[in-house]
Chains A and B, each alone.
Chain A
Amino acid sequence: MSLSAAEVNKIAWLARLAIDDDKVEAYAHDLSQILGFVEQLGSVDTGRVAPMAHPLDEAQRLRPDDVTETDQRALFQAHAPLVEAGLYLVPKVIE
């Protein structure tokens, strides 16, 4: 498995990660190596094996529909990068 620089850039965009141009090749190399290492999984027949998403065989617990939270906006926004009038600000979103 070998990833091209273009593929790395595509994944990086999907993950919203800026990667310096001069480092893309190094990432492509490392990621290709890791994917190559992981490829050995393909050699195992797992035709009838159920995928395992959780270590424990338990069901989801349900919470009563009670309001337990109070307004903590001031606390939560105390260290926020940019807020105004209680809103988090981001560069203009164009729909």
Chain B
Amino acid sequence: MHRKTLAELAAGLERREFSSVELTQAHLARIERLDPALNSFITTTPEIALAQARAADERLAKGEAGPLTGIPIAQKDIFCTKGVRTSCGSRMLDSFVSPYDACVVERFNAAGAVMLGKLNMDEFAMGSSNETSYYGPVKNPWNTATVPGGSSGGSAAAVAARLVPGATGTDTGGSIRQPAAFCGITGLKPTYGRVSRWGMIAFASSLDQAGPMARTAEDCAIMLQTMAGFDERDSTCVDRPVPDYRAALGNDLDGLRIGLPKEFFGEGLDPAIAGLIHAAVDEYRRLGAIVREISLPNMHLSVPAYYVVAPAECSSNLARFDGVRFGHRCENPTDLADLYTRSRGEGFGAEVKRRILIGTYALSAGYYDAYYLKAQKIRRLISEDFRRAFEEVDVIMGPTAPSVAFEFGAKSADPIAMYLSDIYTIAVNLAGLPGMSIPVGFSNGLPVGMQIIGGYFSEDRLLNVAHRYQQATDWHTRTPAGIAD
């Protein structure tokens, strides 16, 4: 059953080829068998899953099912799940059992999806390799010596290893797209404001956005249909109709205008990846698209701007973890200052601390203008670059990451090198645009992802563009050796 895509499983449930309980048990068994080597789950929730599966089977029997009813999924452990530990990959929240559900979780529950568990991630979503998780790194199913990417590395690895047909991720600077690329799956970061952030533990509030991760664009469309939409609890969630994503999948691509930013193909890009991206673009030409070179002149400023804006927001967002109301509290604090500094010092890992420190510094008296305000202005320039580009093209294509999955430890000693692995994805978050990554081939046995960026709220078009490619190619169907059965 694990060979089937989410859409195929939904069809199988509909036709009663198997029950949701059977489907759930099969996936739970796979997790039990294969995940010890991958470490993609922080928590599994078999009791909840089986109860939800039974309820889904009843719904299916009554003919009240939707496309996700009875489908096993898993949540990135950044989404609050009522009654279930929600750790955010941190020692700080190792003991945190959320008293409420995130909006995304509520919507999957309402759709009748079955939650298998909570997925591993970089601590507080800060990382590009999943090496910062308190629960240990996730292994890339294609080669367990390499990282799965981050921060949604658990989600990407679990989908790639067919432990779950679809998973949620969050993307602040590339955290859906980069691991999707490293693990050879399909991931979509929607437009900022498309999916509610209620109950999604904040890293950088003006950049964070939740999205689906699955094997195909069609599966992502099904998941996004449930995730997207207005939520009055999130002031930054946009009240705007949600299109029928699946209905748009089949549109033809005749005359589609694709822009290739020359800045995406310069120095630092693995030539093998460049070759595969160009090959994929050729495929689009065959599908009727028109390709032209464009320029995003401020692209090179996106990583430095991001590493001011995101840490600044995180330094404030993570101030609530103080050992008073929830989360880690140090033993026997001698006074209030000791309670704060030691609880936080013990609860957060090194990368989180680095970012809190950078952000605190960038906002502090005397540095605010030179760092924070400057970065906000650069953010405007980057956003303007995209606005101009989308006057000429419908979608932008390029590599998702400059390299394939790297080995553990390769970049952990050098923060800047690690930050640069998000060089092609970060600008999209700064502008708030939607972006996808789809598998377009392999280099050295490891998957390569291509990024597709669209205008605001063009998720339907992105999914359509990705789907048509997946109809014409089979890269997205490849399965890592050793976990196929």
Contacts and interface: CB of A to CB of B under 8 A. Distances in A.
Interface of A: 3, 8, 11-20, 27, 30-31, 33-35, 37-42, 44, 46, 49-56, 58, 60-61, 63, 72, 75-76, 78-82, 88, 90-93
Interface stretch (B63-71, B264-272, B335-343, B460-468): B335-343
Contacts of B324: 80-81, 88, 90
Contacts of A54: 206, 236, 432
A61 B237 CA distance: 10
Interface in B303-358: 303-305, 307-308, 315, 319, 322-327, 329, 333-342, 344-346, 348, 353-354, 356-358
Interface centre among A16, A60, A63 (most CB of B within 10 A): A16
B208 to A, nearest CB: 11
B155 to A, nearest CB: 23
Nearest to B85: A79
- Chain B facing A: main interface SS: helix
Contact of B301 (A31, A34, A44): A44
A58 B456 CA distance: 13
Given A49-B381, A55-B206, A34 B345 contact: no
Contacts of A91: 333-336, 338-339
B295 to A, nearest CB: 16
B431 interface: yes
B307 A37 contact: yes
Interface in B401-432: 415-416, 419, 430-432
- Chain A facing B: main interface SS: loop
Interface centre among A8, A13, A46 (most CB of B within 10 A): A46
Nearest to A12: B357
A31 B193 contact: no
Contacts of B373: 51
A79 B326 contact: yes
B379 to A, nearest CB: 4
Interface centre among B315, B335, B377 (most CB of A within 10 A): B377
B94 to A, nearest CB: 11
B416 A34 contact: yes
Interface centre among A20, A44, A53, A81 (most CB of B within 10 A): A81
B345 A17 contact: yes
A55 B430 contact: yes
B333 A44 contact: no
A56 B238 contact: yes
> Which are the 10 A-B pairs with shortest beta-carbon distances?
A55-B432, A18-B345, A51-B376, A81-B329, A46-B377, A16-B340, A18-B341, A52-B380, A49-B377, A55-B192
B371 interface: yes
A72 to B, nearest CB: 7
18 contacts: A18-B341, A31-B354, A34-B415, A35-B361, A38-B304, A40-B301, A41-B301, A44-B381, A50-B380, A52-B377, A55-B207, A56-B192, A56-B193, A56-B456, A61-B235, A61-B239, A79-B326, A80-B326
